[in-house]
Homo-oligomer: A and B are copies of this chain.
Amino acid sequence: MEIEEYYSREEWMRFKAKADQVETPSLIVSLGIIRRRFEELLTFFPYAKIYYAVKANPAKEIIELLRDLGSYFDIASIFELDKVLSLGVSPDRISFGNTIKKEKHIKYAYDKGVRLFVTDSKPDLHKVARSAPGADVFVRLIVDGSETADWPLSFKFGCHPDMAYDIIVEAKKLGLNPIGLSFHVGSQQRDIGQWDDALTKAKYLFDLLEGEEKIKLKMINLGGGFPAHYIQKTNETKEYASEISRYLHDNFGDDVPQIMLEPGRSLVGDSGILTTEVVLVARKSNSNLTRWVYIDAGKFGGLIETIDESIKYPIHVERDGKREQVVLAGPTCDSMDILYENNKYELPVNLEMGDRLYFLTTGAYTASYSSVEFNGFPPLKVHFIE
């Protein structure tokens, strides 16, 4: 791969300048890239409210940046809520986006001023009704995008349309304000048509609820699922935006509902480069041709999304010449801490201990996934640049 496929020369030089100053392993995050991605989203989806999925990267610096840019925030727990509130975000800009919530946490969020909750089951709905009376709720639908998303999200969350219908009706009876539906087509979803399928289901439910129950829903939360730039090719966010806008108009005509987006990966994924160092290059026997390359970051130090080799990060190395396939592994005494064994990366034949490997597009779901001290290794350090 060429670094130019992923970053402008100027962006890369800024990463590199910081990387040269810090010890490995560390994550370098460009706030400038996040700003540009956010502004792109505003341009492509001018009709949408953008809720940043804080879990993708909960760094204070990122929350502050997006706060100042006018973003809304999707939180997964009261711990994220506390963080976002402590940084001066008002509670009316926050959506409690986890369908799995303790009742005391719902109450906690309500007492702090949060009035927007997702749900996908009656037991959760009843908790919301008791502890967040009168709040706005939306119901998460199951959609099946698992075959074309690199990180499928379909089965743990959401409910089938028949149950969504019942939940909406019951929400109203319980004094809540059912405002709409949400779905997530899977993180890093490559098939734009998935949004069309999901919107068709949503439209069906909108019509049914209005016709049979006189409940007029007014909002659709399209979730996340827009791409960051990994090795697998995807369409650009712009393409997603224009197709999705078309699907919305095809389904809803002139009566398009309010749209929420919950980008995480697409907003911050590209912003990070994880700088690592080669600790060891070794073979397993005198006759074995495959080199094992061990680096100082691994599954437990930020790269957990290499599990099942799901996410294939682009890797940059500053050596030219012939390349050969390697197995790439992390530094811990855990056999699971192998990054790529089946999808072999090609690295220079003259790769040496001490060389740096740069994992591109590591701004999302890395630092927050680090283990506290597995094998004693400290959590991933993060540095910010413009």
Contact = CB atoms under 8 A, between A and B. Distances in A.
Interface in A285-321: 285-288, 292, 294, 296, 300, 307
A154 interface: yes
A3 interface: no
B280 A100 contact: yes
A4 B108 CA distance: 39
A170 interface: no
Q: Please indicate which of the listed interface residues A58, A336, A376, A378 has the most CB atoms of chain B within 10 Å of its own CB.
A: A376
A368 to B, nearest CB: 5
A370 B372 CA distance: 6
Contacts of A277: 102
A154 B101 CA distance: 40
Interface stretch (A41-49, A116-124, A244-252, A356-364): A116-124
B378 A374 contact: no
B282 A123 contact: yes
Contact of A335 (B151, B332, B374): B151
Number of this chain's copies in the assembly equals 2
A369 B371 contact: yes
Interface string A121-152: 11110010000000000000010000000011
Contacts of A372: 367-368, 370-372, 379
B160 A288 contact: yes
A102 B296 contact: yes
A79 B378 contact: yes
A280 B288 CA distance: 51
